[in-house]
């Protein structure tokens, strides 16, 4: 199994190009199931999760061809649906597979999707996806680990209230409602930039969706969607990760294609912690401001709050800040798996329920550590970049789910990092 070796202590300088957003590309790829015409996508990142979604879509009848000479250019085409079943083997590797449920039932009137099960960061139920589909008139049954959704007469527009803003449920329901008869409102919708990107793509395909980016989304169903050309937004989590990589090493880098308005509350939190973030004509300049890093509290919230997908990276940053930071995770039950690994590098962290108290130390020291999930893994990369000596990160397949060419991008801004078999 591959490992990553890092020799820390080099301030990062230079430019990193930010890739297309994994969490925007995955639902948008699933949207290709909604039409029998080709959907041409640009800026799709080259990631293990994208390959997993492609495999699942292929199984369902979607062909994928690459746009010649353009990395990130893919044409997805589902002239007809060949299977209505998303099997366990394909779904268990990636939770976002559940995003085919809404589109499949909307297009064919039926779908069987394996329940994704929990993962390292928590149980992650899909009850809100199912409640919303029932409101749209689907009957839902659980049979042998599979969710079976049926709407032989087609889906019907409805008012759906989400008791908490789920990103995946909002996406699944927006896609399903796009082809339902009549009007749907989703109240209490999630407001993440990836939801706006999906709505933009669906509207380019002929859907009638307004209000994406607010907690009240209205969808006027249409009888059919058509093909479209769409460019995926830049990855705000990748951008935030590299911004913190620059700061933790005392460096400054330019993030090409990054958008500061996608940072939400992370902008203020990172600035309070001693970072500078400035939009320039060349890109977003990010790194350590003139003073040092300061212990700063953060609480994860749905967008525009501080993203849970940046919590582990921020914790790594706070490990070497001056003073203490209280980091509270409110989205997922078990998203502190990085704590014992950061402790192996010399971090001082105490977890009390959903909060972690991080007391900054002068220096981290390299050690072998184990990656447990995507963002936990990259927090160890950040800590390794700051640590004295060598850090060896094992189980790095998690990183390949969400970071395109990580070693190459970090190496180009001066990091001493290599992947070894």
Ligand X SMILES: C=C(OP(=O)(O)O)C(=O)O
- Binding residues, as ranges, are 22-23, 95, 124-128, 309, 331
411 binds, among ligand X, ligand UD1, none (CB under 5 to 8 A by kind): none
- Among this protein's residues, is 319 annotated catalytic? no
Number of residues interacting with ligand X: please give it, by CB under 6 A. Answer: 7
- How many C-beta neighbours within 10 Å does residue 220 have? 15
Sequence ranges of the binding site for phosphoenolpyruvate: 22-23
Query: Residue 263 or 332: which CB sits closer to ligand UD1?
Result: 332
Taking the CA atoms of residue 286, residue 22, residue 178 and residue 123 in that order, the dihedral angle to the nearest 10 degrees is: -110
Q: First and final CA of the chain: distance in angstroms?
A: 6
32 binds, among ligand UD1, ligand X, none (CB under 5 to 8 A by kind): none
Smallest separation, CB 188 to ligand UD1 (Å): 11
Query: Residue 375 or 409: which CB sits closer to ligand X?
Result: 375
Sequence ranges of the binding site for UDP-N-acetyl-alpha-D-glucosamine: 95, 124-128, 309, 331
Smallest separation, CB 41 to ligand X (Å): 18
Binding flag, residue 376, ligand X (CB under 6 A): no
CB of 310 within 8 A of CB of 374?
A: no
CB of 208 within 8 A of CB of 240?
A: no
List % helix, strand, coil for the chain (3-state, nearest 5).
Answer: 35, 30, 35
338 binds, among ligand X, ligand UD1, none (CB under 5 to 8 A by kind): none
Binding flag, residue 96, ligand X (CB under 6 A): yes
CA 287 to chain centre: 22
Helices 167-178/22-30 angle, 10° precision: 30
Among 236, 375, 398, 409, binds ligand X (CB under 6 A): 375
164 binds, among ligand UD1, ligand X, none (CB under 5 to 8 A by kind): ligand UD1
CB of 242 within 8 A of CB of 257?
A: no
Binding flag, residue 338, ligand X (CB under 6 A): no
Binding flag, residue 374, ligand X (CB under 6 A): yes
402 binds, among ligand UD1, ligand X, none (CB under 5 to 8 A by kind): ligand X
- Indicate which residue of 5, 81, 119, 354 is catalytic: 119
- How many C-beta neighbours within 10 Å does residue 123 have? 10
Among 16, 28, 78, 95, binds ligand X (CB under 6 A): 95
CA distance 357 to 319: 10
Phi/psi zone of residue 93: left (φ > 0), alpha (ψ -120 to 50 degrees), beta?
alpha
Binding flag, residue 194, ligand X (CB under 6 A): no
Pairing of strands 85-86, 139-143: unpaired
> Could you list the residues that contact ligand UD1 (CB under 6 A)?
23, 26, 95-96, 122, 124-129, 164, 166-169, 190, 308-309, 331-332
Smallest separation, CB 388 to ligand UD1 (Å): 32
Strand, helix or coil for residue 253 = strand
Sheet containing 183-187, strands listed edge to edge, beginning at the edge strand earlier in sequence: 159-161, 183-187, 216-220, 208-210
CA distance 119 to 354: 17
Residue least distant from ligand UD1 (Cβ):
168
Please report, as ranges, the residues that interact with ligand X according to CB under 6 A.
Answer: 23, 95-96, 309, 374-375, 402
Residues identified as active-site: 119
């Amino acid at each position: 199994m591959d490992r990553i070796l890092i020799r820390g202590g080099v301030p990062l300088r230079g430019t990193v190009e930010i890739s297309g957003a994994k969490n925007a590309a995955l639902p948008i790829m699933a949207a290709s199931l909604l039409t029998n015409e080709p959907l041409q996508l640009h800026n799709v990142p080259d990631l293990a999760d994208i390959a997993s979604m492609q495999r699942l879509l292929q199984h369902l009848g979607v062909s994928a061809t690459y746009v010649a000479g353009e990395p990130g250019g893919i044409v997805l085409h589902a002239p007809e649906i060949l299977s209505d079943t998303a099997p366990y083997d394909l779904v268990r590797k990636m939770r976002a597979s559940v995003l085919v449920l809404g589109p499949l039932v909307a297009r064919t009137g039926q779908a069987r999707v394996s329940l994704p099960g929990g993962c390292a960061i928590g149980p992650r139920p899909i009850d809100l996806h199912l409640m919303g589909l029932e409101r749209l008139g689907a009957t839902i049954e659980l049979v042998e680990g599979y969710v079976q959704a049926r709407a032989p007469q087609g889906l019907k527009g409805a008012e759906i209230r989400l008791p908490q803003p789920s990103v995946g449920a909002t996406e699944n329901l927006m896609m399903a409602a796009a082809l339902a008869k009549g009007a749907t409102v989703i109240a209490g919708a999630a407001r993440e930039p990836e939801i706006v990107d999906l709505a933009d793509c669906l509207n380019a395909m002929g859907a009638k969706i307004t209000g994406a980016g607010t907690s009240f989304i209205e969808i006027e169903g249409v009888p059919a969607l058509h093909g479209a050309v769409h460019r995926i937004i830049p990855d705000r989590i990748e951008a935030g990760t590299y911004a913190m990589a620059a700061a933790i090493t005392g460096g400054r880098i330019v993030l090409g294609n990054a958008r500061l308005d996608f940072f939400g509350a992370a902008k203020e939190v990172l600035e309070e912690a001693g970072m500078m973030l400035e939009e320039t004509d060349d890109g977003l300049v990010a790194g350590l401001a003139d003073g040092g890093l300061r212990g700063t509290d953060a609480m994860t919230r749905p967008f525009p709050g501080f993203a849970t997908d940046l919590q582990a990276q921020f914790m790594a940053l706070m490990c070497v800040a001056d003073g203490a930071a209280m980091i509270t995770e409110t989205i997922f039950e078990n998203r502190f798996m990085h704590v014992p690994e950061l402790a192996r590098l010399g971090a001082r962290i105490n977890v009390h329920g959903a909060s972690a108290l991080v007391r900054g130390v002068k220096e981290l020291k390299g050690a072998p550590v184990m990656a447990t999930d995507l963002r936990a893994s990259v927090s160890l990369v950040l800590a390794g970049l700051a640590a004295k000596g060598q850090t060896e990160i094992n189980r790095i397949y998690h990183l390949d789910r969400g970071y395109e060419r990580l070693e190459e991008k970090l190496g180009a801004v001066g990091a001493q990092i290599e992947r070894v078999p």
